[in-house]
Amino acid sequence: MVTTVGRRLDDPVRLRALRAARLAAAAEAVSLDRLTALAGQVAEAPMSLLSLIDADRQFIVAGAPDDWDTEVPLDRSLCRFVVRDEVSLVVRDTRADPVLHDSAAAGVIAYAGFPVRAPGGDVVGALCVVDAVPRDWPADRMRQVADLAETVTHEIALRLACSELRDRGLDRMREDLVAVVSHELRGPIAAIRGYAEVLLDDPALADLHRRWAGVIDRKSADLERLVGDLLDLAALDSGHIGIVSRPVPLGRLVREAVDEHAPAAAERNIVISAEIGQHLPVFGDPLRLRQVVGNLLSNAVKYTPPGGAVRVTAAIEDGRARLTVADTGIGVPPEEFPLLFERFFRTRTAVERGIKGTGLGLAITKAIVDAHGGAISAAPREGGGTEFTISLPAACTSTAGAPDGP
């Protein structure tokens, strides 16, 4: 008799482990086919299967006959009980249990299934042997099939480890290439912009040529910012960027950033309001923290349609400085929030509206916040738009209670 309790099959942690296991299983198809076939030989069973269990269906990744569907609804899956209860299930005759009988695929009478785990220990599937007639499963042979299920677990873990090492190596190579190329581009771009500025300073320059020089100057300035962002990311990744920490009046820094972005907001009929505490000391690099606040405000103004609003709040809560930048802008699709701080990522809403950007600003912002021992998060704003929240360790100073200044 199976129980009616167990782990939820739609548990998010288990499903994340399952996604990785499915990729590993696809990469190890040959070896898993052999292990599955060996399980059938050991148990002297006419059929053996390796399955992974998703939230709503069973995926047969090895052992399925050619005329079988490799995706099975969970209500026709016995393996789901193995995954749910995280223990083996050995049944002589499924017809003796109404729940099992109703869940068995057509022709499955005897069943023995054993857990297959992801590297973190989450049960993601089952290695099973089945028969179309009732039968007793010898204990010694069941122990051997259980050992084979453990071997499948190790095969998946090995494949995942190899993939992770390969990906890390590729990431390192890509980061090194970006750093080298960006460094080599900095000089030529600066020279191009310098010559463009010289041309623009020439009062005898014809109007048409002046317009061309203006375009060169603006585009080279964009390239300079992009190269600077790439070099910042490379330095932050390598730990070579200089974070010169000292007590910083965060309130004053935020007010200055708000004042700096107010003209650009006014041009687009966007109202920036601020509610900033009087004493917000943090310990950090003022130039880098100013960059963080500037990035968030610049994004808020950029992605908010004319007539919208941006609200900035800052206060000390539970010994930490908390800064929030909320806008009434175009928002972020819910499924894209986990990707916001990935480098080069741009939201679908921004791309569809043709809003330009490199996708590097938030990645740099997060890297700087992390380097300060802080945390940053993003969430939908109630009523529409997006809200970013930064938490930083507050500094202990001897001037507690004093204002940050105008």
Q: Which domains does the chain have, with CATH numbers?
A: 12-164 (3.30.450.40), 166-238 (1.20.58), 246-393 (3.30.565.10)
Q: 382-405 burial string, b = 16+ CB within 10 Å, else e?
A: eeebbbbbbbbebbeeeeeeeebe
C-alpha 135 chain-centroid distance: 48
In terms of phi and psi (left: phi > 0; alpha: psi -120 to 50; beta: otherwise), the region of 63 is left
Per-residue pLDDT at 237: 65
Beta carbons of 250 and 316 less than 8 angstroms apart: no
Residue 205: CB atoms within 10 A of its CB come to 15
Q: pLDDT tens digits, the chain, 406 residues: what are they?
A: 454 445 577 777 777 777 766 655 555 567 788 889 999 999 999 999 998 888 888 888 888 887 777 888 888 889 889 988 889 999 999 998 888 888 887 788 999 999 998 888 888 889 999 999 999 999 999 999 999 999 888 887 877 777 676 666 666 666 666 666 666 677 788 788 888 888 888 888 888 888 888 888 888 877 777 777 777 776 666 666 667 788 889 999 999 999 999 999 999 999 999 999 888 889 889 988 998 999 999 999 999 999 999 999 999 988 899 999 999 999 998 888 888 888 778 888 888 888 887 788 898 899 889 988 899 999 999 889 999 999 998 876 444 444 454 4
Contact 116, 156 (CB under 8 A): yes
The predicted structure's pLDDT at residue 395: 78
| Residue in the block written with tokens 């006419």 | 46
Taking only Cα atoms into account, the Rg of the chain, rounded to an integer number of angstroms, comes to: 30
For residue 398, the model assigns a pLDDT of 44
Q: Which long-range contacts (CB under 8 A, 24 or more apart) does 371-377 make?
A: 371/236, 371/241, 371/243, 371/288, 372/243, 372/245, 372/282, 372/283, 372/284, 372/285, 372/288, 372/289, 376/341
Instruction: Check residue 404 and give its pLDDT.
Output: 57
* The pLDDT of residue 240: 60
Label the pairing between strands 123-131 and 246-249: unpaired
Sheet holding 320-327, edge to edge: 271-276, 309-317, 320-327, 386-393, 375-380
Bridge-based pairing of strands 271-276 and 309-317 is parallel
Place of tokens 């300073």: 201
What contacts 24+ positions apart, CB below 8 Å, involve 288-291? 288/243, 288/368, 288/371, 288/372, 289/248, 289/250, 289/253, 289/368, 289/372, 289/392, 290/253, 290/256, 290/257, 291/364, 291/365, 291/368
Q: What is the pLDDT of residue 71?
A: 85
